Structure 1
């Protein structure tokens, strides 16, 4: 049996950018879900979904990071994480593999990384073909003074 550790990341894609979420922070990966909208919620809050009887706030990461809307009707996916003891479903473009990476390869955010990524990232890994931006769930789900909670 493979042992997962703090250097294992679930890879996800948003608007062509590969990102990583520490595997120990991911509770579930779901296909597209039925989401109920919440009136007067922040734009990034897509609504809520029912996950095995539990109400989960769904956050559209494209809207949260002010990225362009999805151009096609491709099936989005959901990654469920926990923040302040509450589950959140992060709506993403797609999920990739789990990567095990060495601490030695981790770098602070480069100054050339776009501001919206720097705001929610703990740092990066330079992979052979692309940059892996490591997402900080706490920063991602803190919208200024207001929390993501609906």
Structure 2
């Protein structure tokens, strides 16, 4: 069975999210910092009148969080009917993948990633990691 993944890069890795869960991709502009929030919460952003949580996906995956000098992109996803914005390095293309080609999560993958990906798609020159959005947005 085939389905589509909206791809993005984060810290040199290629990730994918089920395209049906992606609302839009935008460049991060004005946002509000939330005092005393966990490091995984980058703040809040107003998207056409709706306040949306910003999740720093670098921090969520145990990496160095985005800093003020960075220019991350936002992938706005729907989780349980609510929009949540994931901060990523770069938004990629939509890829068709075959569920029959999904391989197991390699034991060499970092523990923070192993818990959040459904497996691995081996591409010609890269690995595509399908992200479990419901787990990745827990802060």
TM-score by length of 1: 0.85
3-state SS in 2 of match to 1:139: helix
Count of aligned positions: 139
Instruction: Give the counterpart of 1:97 among 93, 99, 104.
Output: 93
Q: 1:50-92, CA deviations, whole angstroms, 9 ceiling, x for partnerless residues?
A: 0010000000101111113458945210000122322110000
> Is 95-104 or 70-79 further displaced after alignment?
70-79
Whole-Å separation in 1 of the counterparts to 2:39 and 2:69: 20
1:72 and 1:124, CA in 2 relative to 1: closer, same or farther beyond 3 A?
farther
Are 1:79 and 2:75 an aligned pair? yes
Matched residue, 2:128: 132
Are 1:50 and 2:50 an aligned pair? no
Matched residue, 1:15: 11
Matched residue, 1:40: 36
Alpha-carbon deviation of 1:36? 0.0
3-state SS in 1 of match to 2:64: coil
Higher relative contact order (CA 8 A, sep 6+): 2
Q: What are the ranges of 5 or more consecutive residues in structure 2 without an aligned counterpart?
A: none
1:11 and 1:61, CA in 2 relative to 1: closer, same or farther beyond 3 A?
same
Runs of 4+ in 1 over 3 A off after TM superposition: 69-74
| CA-atom RMSD in angstroms | 1.9
Whole-Å separation in 2 of the counterparts to 1:71 and 1:45: 13
Q: What are the ranges of 5 or more consecutive residues in structure 1 without an aligned counterpart?
A: 143-147
TM-score by length of 2: 0.92
